[in-house]
Amino acid sequence: MMQSRNRIGLLVAVLAVLFGCLCLPSVAREKFDKEKMDKVIKENLCGSVVSSKSNPAPGSLQWEPLEGVEIRLEGTKYKTTTEAFGAFAMKVKPGTYTLVASKPGVGLTTKTVTVTDGPTPTMVNIVLTPGKVGDNIDPRTGGSVNTLSPGTCYVAYAQKSLSGNPNSTASMPSSIGMGLNTTQSYKQAILLGADPLRMNAFNTVMPSLNQPTNMGMTSMQTSPTSVALNNLMIIDKETPNEPRYVDMVSQPYWMCFNAPGNHLFVSTNGNSLQVYDTSNGNNLMTTLPLGGVVTDLKLSLDGNYIMAAVMSAQPTIMLIDPRTNTPQRSLPLPMMRTGQAGQPRGVASNREFTRIFVAMGTQNSGEVVAIDPMSGVAQNALPVGMNPTDMAISPDGRFLYVVNSGSGDVSVIDAWMFTEMGRIRVGASPQKVAISPDGQRVFVTNKASDSVSIINGSSQAVIGTIPTGRAPVGIACSSLNDRVYVGCTGTGNVTILDAKSGGALMNTTSLQNSTPWGIAVRP
């Protein structure tokens, strides 16, 4: 009798830790028999799952335990189900896992857990909120649904102390937005003594947008206090002030969706590519080793390939079939015209997928090479500005926009004729580019100017400069053509812009110990 009471006391103590200050019903001691208590005490991973009450009675508990919740460790065979009072216990090998908790009619959530082989079990407390946006279970029917609607934004946050931007460059002097000028005009201006970083001889007045550029941005009210240092932040269009987070073990960097928008491809610091099923609780589907640092990740314009620009001793463009999530072929990159190794900085393709365009460069040079995606043979090369860090192609496949960080401009290339039409002056140290779905707006992040330049897709001239948080890098346009998301690496937040007016709508809450890099929006 004394031994049984001791075990009951230990079990109640474990549950008290899991629930914090929550009080269990008095019948808790009566529901657990000796065998179940021994299991909870002996296993090295145990926990409890509760659900928040929608309308709790005054003075009653705010939570209620959930029985019958499936608990599994992603990518393993470990699986169990919560028993009375939402308790579960497993014996697993030491390591770090992604724990998935789900129950039809309630919801699904994930949590990163680290299990050790010490005398004390790892304990986790999980909350499932019925009907919460982001759950992939329909609370009315209990069936699986795809709640990821078009326009949902994913932001890759990497731990600040360890992260490094493979595309980052030193700060450049401030520059002034410019209209389109020919390459020959730039050469003549430099010969006449103009500063190539400012081009004062060609200054133009930027027309103002319909709305002010400083619309009184506000931060989200809810501070994410328990967010993992490495995570994917999810911003829904309808509830941008209620972001959700997917914990990650690896540091995420660049991302893109497949054409249907149900699979998300994420490059990590492990020189690999992870594929997540965004229609099924953001489950990790597979990990693909790439053998180098991914500097750019894009879906081909025809939607049939994921193109990964891989910087390594043997730089390549890796083509991945998004239907099977398997690598198809690797295209080696040629030497640059300067005789230096052609390390890729950006990638794009034409609509017919008969050409892949790759931006390559160093601090003092840059070029774009056109490659046959079937044979891998380089067809032609074209010089651009210094140190290109990104490129994108217009939806109709006509124009290539190459961001030249070292020279503070954007090269506009006729993709059909493969000729440079000219260069557009933007802000200091431009980094990434995004194009609106209709091709009418081109958005460029200016890291050293803390701003985004907006280029008219018809006139090829800067029509406005929008202030953002500090050091913006990643950027993406919503498939609904209504929002632009900007990752600010200096302030650790995302600035959301109105895609039509260019006005700043709001800032998300900063994650002080994490840095936002890649951004992807579901098509």
Q: Does domain 2-128 have CATH number 2.20.130.10?
A: no
Indicate the average pLDDT of the chain: 79
Quickly state the pLDDT bin for 122 (edges 50, 70, 90): confident
User: Up-side HSE of residue 198: CA atoms within 13 Å toward CB?
Assistant: 7
CA 23 to mean position of chain CA atoms: 39
Q: Which of 70, 123, 72 is nearest to 97 (CA)?
A: 72
Fold classified for 153-169+178-521: Methylamine Dehydrogenase; Chain H (2.130.10)
For residues 500 and 405, what is the distance between their CA atoms, to the nearest angstrom?
26
Q: Which two tokens stand for residue 367?
A: 């070029």
Residue pair 399/414 in contact by the 8 Å Cβ criterion = yes
* Rg (the chain; Cα; Å): 26
Query: CATH 2.60.40.1120 region(s) of the chain?
Result: 2-128
Contact between 394 and 371 (Cβ < 8 Å):
no
Best mean pLDDT range from 2-6, 10-14, 123-127, 444-448: 444-448
Sign (positive or negative) of CA dihedral 499, 357, 167, 175: negative
Query: Per residue in 144-181, is it b (16+ CB within 10 Å) or e — as a string?
Result: eeebbeebbbbbbbbbeeebebbbbbeebeebbbbbbb
Cα separation, 223 vs 159, in Å, equals 17
- Is residue 514 a contact partner of residue 249, using CB atoms and an 8 Å limit? no
Q: What is the pLDDT of residues 192-216, one digit of tens each?
A: 433 333 333 233 333 333 333 333 3
Intervals of CATH 2.130.10.10 along the chain: 153-169+178-521
Backbone angles phi, psi at 89, to 5 degrees: -155, 140
Cβ contact 63:19 at 8 Å: yes
pLDDT in tens, 401-441: 999 999 999 999 999 999 999 999 999 999 999 999 999 99
Structure tokens at 263: 């699979």
Eight-class DSSP state of 334: P
* % residues pLDDT > 90 (the chain): 53
| AA letter at 130 | P
Q: Find the mean pLDDT for residues 40-69.
A: 72
Which of 176-185, 245-254, 324-333, 345-354 has the least mean pLDDT? 176-185
Q: Give the pLDDT confidence score for residue 139 in this predicted structure.
A: 35
